[in-house]
Structure 1
């Protein structure tokens, strides 16, 4: 959702992803810079398994990105960082986004 008008599906995906308090905390924690999963889990005081679930959703929505790196001792570490994004909502933005929705009326997701 960077430098373009979001489609309705983009908007739904991003807003749904950010509607979870854990995911908001993850994004906030990564604003200060990239971090690896174990350290981030400790900082946020949540399990690595739960953190992984939220990181996958954030990554699928394009809000964070990851990169696997090897530490000096050869241990694989997955680092995450915030991807640049901006969400500016206006009634007109929502009106335009609705025109591009592929989710059918009445369907549940």
Structure 2
């Protein structure tokens, strides 16, 4: 993935109110998926869709753990991040793309 695509993925992950609420809930510490869904006020399937975006942007991480009775439980935790978006951030991402060369995305002729 190119640098600009990484930046867009991060910005997209932050661009939804449910995902911001999830990050806020995780600021208190790791949380089991069911509890996180309750706190965020969404269904577990919907939460998993949002978590997928947050994990792809490397903002959160999920880990399976076994409970005392042997049941698999998924816990989500916030990964450390520091985001400062400036024009320099955007330009650096685009320069990194230019150094990598052309992407394999092809423009369709009109």
TM-score when normalising by structure 2: 0.82
Q: Which has the larger radius of gyration?
A: 2
Q: Counterparts of 1:14 and 1:93 in 2: how far apart (Å)? A: 12
1:61 to 31, 48, 57: 57
Q: 1:82 to 1:74 in 2, by over 3 A?
A: same
CA distance in 1, matches of 2:87, 2:56: 26
Return 93-102 or 20-29, whichever deviates more: 93-102
CA distance in 2, matches of 1:54, 1:81: 14
Q: Which has the higher helix share?
A: 2
Higher RCO (CA 8 Å, separation ≥ 6 residues): 1
What residue is the counterpart of 1:87 in the other structure?
83
Report the TM-score when normalising by structure 1: 0.82
Moved >6 Å (runs of 4+): none
In structure 2, the residue matched to 1:27 is 23
Give ranges in structure 2 of 5+ residues lacking alignment: 98-102
* Partner Cα distance (2:104, 2:89) in 1: 17
Q: How many residues align?
A: 102
> What RMSD over aligned residues (CA atoms) do the two structures have, in Å?
2.2
